[in-house]
Amino acid sequence: MIRVYFVGTGGGAPSPYRSLPSYLIRREGFYALFDCGEGTQRNLMEYRLGIMSIKLIGITHMHGDHVLGLPGLIQTMGLLDRKEPLYIMGPKAIKDFIERTSELTGFRAPFEIRFIDSYEDENIRIYKFPTCHTIESYGYIFEEKERKGLDVEKLRRDGINDWQILRELKAGKEVRFNGKTLKPEDYIIVKPAIRVAYTGDTSYCEKVIDSVKGVNLLLHDSTFLDEKDAREWGHSNAIDAATVAKQAEVKRLALIHISSRYRDTSQFVRLASRIFDKVFVPEDLSYYILDREP
């Protein structure tokens, strides 16, 4: 199960209604934060989510609204005496940004910061893809890998509930049961990967469509409602975002990076849903649960 926390859903400047960009994606004890606008650490506290559980931070690009909360978050981790290493992904300049701001504010992290290009463990993969913005900019995919699991329904139908038999089958071994030979391949099913994509800042972008094909949830820039000049600013409007979602055949679309000029976002949903109807505009401090599909 993956939870996506919409820590800050605004963009550019904060408003009383939306904070600057930050999204936390959590799978069991693994927390990854994507972008870290000013105010992120305090918003995380509002969720009562321990900031020390964050293992990895991915930054999309070096504009201030996406990155100016990072030095403060790292310094609070230091104040709380973090020892665990922290993984950082992002554009090349992110290393310099962290090191310079630490120097300028007389801070030395008591933990290691590891700059990495992608992340993978037994259960999770996190990787970047390029987007179309005014400067070097990336989106992120957070993937819970496909996993083999027992077909609980079929086992129930066949009257099999002995945990030792289940263990053998799961380990890929044949088992004798009621005079029959049970074959593991008959009881093991593949649970598909779950993928969440976050674009950061982007205008309508073919590279994004290629990269987010079929994801379960797409968080797409929708800075503007329907302004045609969104592209000139390296941003999208709600129609651009819905078009990408449709062409990439994603399962669900969240419109994010909403400009502070909008308070009511009902028009965003109305416009976008003409093109792609599984769409919503998350509020700050809300979250969304993605469970494995059957």
Judged by CB under 8 A, does residue 72 bind a copy of itself? yes
For residue 260, the minimal CB distance to a copy of itself (Å) is: 9
Active site residue 291: no
DSSP string, the chain: -EEEEEEE-EESB--SS-PSPEEEEEETTEEEEE---TTHHHHHHHTT--GGGEEEEE-----HHHHTTHHHHHHHHHHTT--S-EEEES-THHHHHHHHHHHHTT---SS-EEE-S-EE-SSEEEEEEE--SSSS-EEEEEEEPPEEEE-HHHHHHTT---HHHHHHHHTT--EEETTEEEPHHHHEEEEPPEEEEE--S--S-HHHHHHTTT-SEEEEE--BSS-GGGGGGT--BHHHHHHHHHHTT-S-EEEE-EETT-S--HHHHHHHHTT-SSEE-PPTTEEEEEPPP-
How many residues form the binding site for a copy of itself (CB under 8 A)?
37
Judged by CB under 8 A, does residue 285 bind a copy of itself? no
| Cα gap 174→289, rounded to integer Å | 36
For residue 167, the minimal CB distance to a copy of itself (Å) is: 45
Cα 187–Cα 189–Cα 194 angle in degrees, nearest 5: 160
For residue 75, the minimal CB distance to a copy of itself (Å) is: 5
From 70-78, 166-174, 231-239, 268-276, span contacting a copy of itself (CB under 8 A)? 70-78
Near a copy of itself in 13-32, by CB under 8 A: 13-16, 19-20
Report the residue number, 105 or 123, with the smaller CB distance to a copy of itself: 105
Judged by CB under 8 A, does residue 262 bind a copy of itself? no
Pairing of strands 54-58, 86-89: parallel
- Structure tokens of 269? 């949903």
Near a copy of itself in 81-110, by CB under 8 A: 93, 96-97, 100-101, 104-107
> Residue with structure tokens 């399962």?
251
For residue 13, the minimal CB distance to a copy of itself (Å) is: 4
For residue 43, the minimal CB distance to a copy of itself (Å) is: 9
Near a copy of itself in 37-66, by CB under 8 A: 37-39, 41-42, 45-46, 62-65
For residue 229, the minimal CB distance to a copy of itself (Å) is: 16
Q: Which of 76, 247, 273, 286 binds a copy of itself (CB under 8 A)?
A: 76
Report the residue number, 16 or 294, with the smaller CB distance to a copy of itself: 16
> Which candidate in 65, 221, 240, 284 is catalytic?
65
| Cα gap 171→188, rounded to integer Å | 10
Binding mask 113-142 for a copy of itself (x = CB under 8 A): ----------------------x-------
Report the residue number, 73 or 182, with the smaller CB distance to a copy of itself: 73
Active-site residue set:
65
Q: Which residues contact a copy of itself (rule: CB under 8 A)? A: 12-16, 19-20, 37-39, 41-42, 45-46, 62-65, 67-69, 71-72, 75-76, 79-80, 93, 96-97, 100-101, 104-107, 135
